[in-house]
Amino acid sequence: MPLKPRYRSKRIFFVLACSLSVAVLAGAVLFDTKKTVRIDTQHYSLSLEIVADNLAHPWSIAFLPDGEVLVTERPGRLRRLVDDELLSEPVTGLPDVTASGQGGLLDLALHPEFADNRLLYFSYSDQTSAGMTTRVARARYESGQLQEVEPIFEALPRSSGGRHFAGRMVFDPDGYLYISVGDRGEMERAQNPSDHAGSIIRLNDDGSVPENNPFVDQSQVRDEIFTWGNRNPQGLTVHPQTGEVWSNEHGPRGGDEINLIRSGLNYGWPEVTHGINYTGFSITPHTELPGMESPLLHWTPSIAPSGIVFYTGSDFPLWQGQIFSGALRDKLISRVSVKETDEGYLLQEEERFLQEFGQRIRDIRQGPDGYLWLLTDENPGQIVRIKPAQ
């Protein structure tokens, strides 16, 4: 049975542009492969090691148990990093990927028993005469080849446009697969439960629908939907102690969010938001409403959050148990403290750093070496490893 979240937060924390921050320096800095650069933060001096570069908009990174690392490039290539060397030949066997707008080859997730079954999951945008959508497929991965490729989910209905595919994936400790689906730039779809757009999907590992999904057999709601009212969740992660799934989500102009993903909840978009439209006009007068879940934290103004991870390593003990979120628009990492009380989770942004690096952070993960790894959403993009400075 899935783990039941133990807490429900009713608190909203405003994160203003004047939040605690290391100094913001002007100008992007592009470093050569294997060069190490020192950056100071509130508690630690960091050594940023550029492991590989010359990637085209890298989007996701996955660490295999044998030490190999896989990285997606949004234009539709899956790359291999072996012994910290980026191989020139991409992985073969990918299906056709439609790289248009924000779409392309997106996230990677390893089956919980990957070491035995070699099952790799990947999300991507796909186009037919009916339009574009987000798809998820699984395949067996062996030595640079994908075999037995099998699509297991596609978001319906399809539509035109190249925005808000989401596509993040994570397995929880019970083996359920969670997939984020953006609203595709059509906000009203997120409040239509007969539409996959603007939701978090939960599936069994073969793509079938779990019997205990919240809307199973409700004729007006798609069985795969686990939550709805989500705008464009760009990060998914699992709490290291509770097994709960957490997300971060893009708002419009303001109102980026961190949410605890709980079965059957409506996260409100676009009926509630702390953001405004890109035109400057109001989307809604409401920042909260009965029956709609409030975020644990929101960033206003927007930072455009991307990958998200709980840090559990030993090299930076003051950071243990905290959330690290990359940011695209503001080109930084946001460090967020997480405290549990009888009333729920209390989140507070503690620091922003890496601004002097000057690059869009697309993904952030903790590797098996205990270090934080980053992907920069640039062309050329880079794979970066964060270590303690010597």
Q: What is the DSSP string of 329-366?
A: TTTEEEEEEEEEETTEEEEEEEEEE-GGG-S-EEEEEE
Strand 77-82 relative to strand 85-86: parallel, antiparallel, unpaired?
A: antiparallel
Indicate the residue type of 113. Answer: E
Indicate the residue type of 135. Answer: R
Q: Is 63:125 a contact under the CB 8 Å cutoff?
A: no
Q: Is 165:98 a contact under the CB 8 Å cutoff?
A: no
What is the C-alpha separation between 201 and 217, in angstroms, rounded? Answer: 15
Would you state the pLDDT for residue 311? 98
Q: Is 193:222 a contact under the CB 8 Å cutoff?
A: yes
Distances (CA, A) of 235 to 131, 167, 185, 291, 316: 25, 9, 18, 24, 22
Q: Residue by residue, what is the 3-state secondary structure of 113-175?
A: CHHHHCEEEEEEEEEECCEEEEEEEEEEEECCEEEEEEEEEECCCCECCCCCCCCCEEECCCC
pLDDT in tens, the chain (390 residues): 333 343 444 444 444 334 444 333 333 444 445 688 899 999 999 999 999 999 999 999 999 999 999 999 999 999 999 999 999 999 999 999 999 999 999 999 999 999 999 999 999 999 999 999 999 999 999 999 999 999 999 999 999 999 999 999 999 999 999 999 999 999 999 999 999 999 999 999 999 999 999 999 999 999 999 999 999 999 999 999 999 999 999 999 999 999 999 999 999 999 999 999 999 999 999 999 999 999 999 999 999 999 999 999 999 999 999 999 999 999 999 999 999 999 899 999 999 999 999 999 999 999 999 999 999 999 999 999 999 998
Would you state the pLDDT for residue 11? 43
In this structure, what token pair is assigned to residue 362?
């697309």
Cis before 233? omega within 30: no
For 52-77, what is each residue's pLDDT tens digit? Answer: 999 999 999 999 999 999 999 999 99
Instruction: Tell me the CATH number for domain 14-388.
Output: 2.120.10.30
Q: Which residues are catalytic?
A: 164
Whose CA is closest to 84, among 67, 72, 65, 109? 67
